[in-house]
Amino acid sequence: MTLILVLSLFIWLFLYKNIQYQPELWWQFAWSWDTSRFLRGIIWGAIIIVFYSILQILKSRHETLSLPDNEDVAKLQDILEESQQASANLVYLKDKYIIQSDDAWAFIMFAIQWKNAIALWDPIWKSKNFTECIWKFRNFCKKNALRSCFYEVSKENISLYLDIGMYAIKIGEEAKVALDDFSLSWKSKQDLRSAQNKFSKLWYYFKYYNKQEVPAIIGTLKDISDEWLSHKNAKEKWFSLWKFDEEYISHFPVATICDESGEIKAFVNIWESAQKYEMSWDIMRYRSDTPNWIMELLFTECIVYAQKQWFKYFNFGMAPLSGVKKWEILSTWNKIAGFIYNYWEHFYNFKWLRKYKEKYSPEWESKYLVTENIMQVPVTLKNVTTLISGGIKWIIKK
């Protein structure tokens, strides 16, 4: 605004350089007195900018932020022990801010990126009524001059956000394998059976470590993780994705594939939800000298194990932009997302990721991005991408 005002002043000096300045110019009113009109406009513009700047400076910031510690996470145990969302265990990473509802029935994890407060998923709850938690998050954002948004919101909860005046767009679909109906004996699962047979001939086997056993192998897991990052020329992700942290990993069971000598070749840490509603995976790492598709074997064995433990679902996570149509009658966002999904395979294997998860015949659940207004969507998507990748420099480098 200040830049526009200064440029306007230079334009005035250029247009009316032949007119000698006189004090009377301020008070002359006529259709043809553009010089006077311009002078008064410049002054009023300067007054408005100064007044607006003072308001911004004096705007109250009532709440301070700090990342949660072990004591803060301990307060959430009652919710975690009753939540059916396995990914709620990401709170143990303690790298996101937390807002808890006043009734202690729900909490929200969020990060801040360029004045955007981005909440991860719906509120984690032990009671279905978490509307109060959403309002508390929005009020916090308003007091602190932040734009509120929610990433990976479930379809069944969209109405709660629409009722408070927010806007939703579909950003992908989450794959959940229904374990009651899953069987490797199906004809469509021949590839998975072949992988099992092939690796059993090489004397590879599946081993599940309970979380009490994980500290004894944590050093080996760290070596595999470091080797994987180096081999892939990758860096740890953040926000909605995993990163290796020894304290964090020790909170969960770990599923592994071992060779005939007992050496761990690949692993995933396992999330388990309350009431055995769903099992999911978080960190996936393997050694560079392992055979191709060893992770396919590991995921297959994890599904079989979850089925034996009477879990209802195995959650494979979201496939970005999957299921976003680009028909003419839909919004501009849907058309852009559909175009990216179909033609930007060079930058991200959207179709490959969907096809890989389709091997396990999952049920697909729509996921949404919820923002305060439609104009906020591009900036929010950019900020989410920056958060997950660990910085804009890494996005450009990759």
Q: In sequence order, what DSSP letters do the residues of 178-217 get, joined into one string?
A: ETTS--TTSGGGHHHHHHHHHHHHTT-EEEEE-TTTGGGG
pLDDT of residue 30: 52
pLDDT of residue 341: 39
Q: 370 burial class (0-12, 13-18, 19+ CB within 10 angstroms)?
A: buried
- Average confidence (pLDDT) over 15-26: 62
- Average confidence (pLDDT) over 354-381: 79
- Average confidence (pLDDT) over 141-159: 85
Looking only at the bridges linking them, the beta strands covering 363-371 and 313-320 are: unpaired
How far CA 220 is from CA of 61, 214, 250, 266, 371, in Å, comes to 46, 10, 13, 10, 42
pLDDT of residue 243: 67
Selection from 141-150, 346-355, 389-398 with the highest mean pLDDT: 141-150
Q: Identify the band that residue 133 occupies on the pLDDT scale cut at 50, 70 and 90.
A: confident
CATH classification code of 180-311: 3.40.630.30
pLDDT at residue 23 tops 80: no
- Residue 285's beta-bridge partner residues? 267
CA neighbours closer than 13 Å in the CB half-sphere of residue 40: 11
Tokens of 81: 């022990």
Query: For the ranges 2-6, 174-178, 344-348, 364-368, which has the lowest average pLDDT?
Result: 344-348
Tell me the pLDDT tens digit for each residue of 220-236: 988 888 888 887 766 66
Q: What mean pLDDT value characterizes the chain?
A: 76
- Average confidence (pLDDT) over 355-360: 75
Beta carbons of 280 and 315 less than 8 angstroms apart: yes
More confident call, 3 vs 32: 3
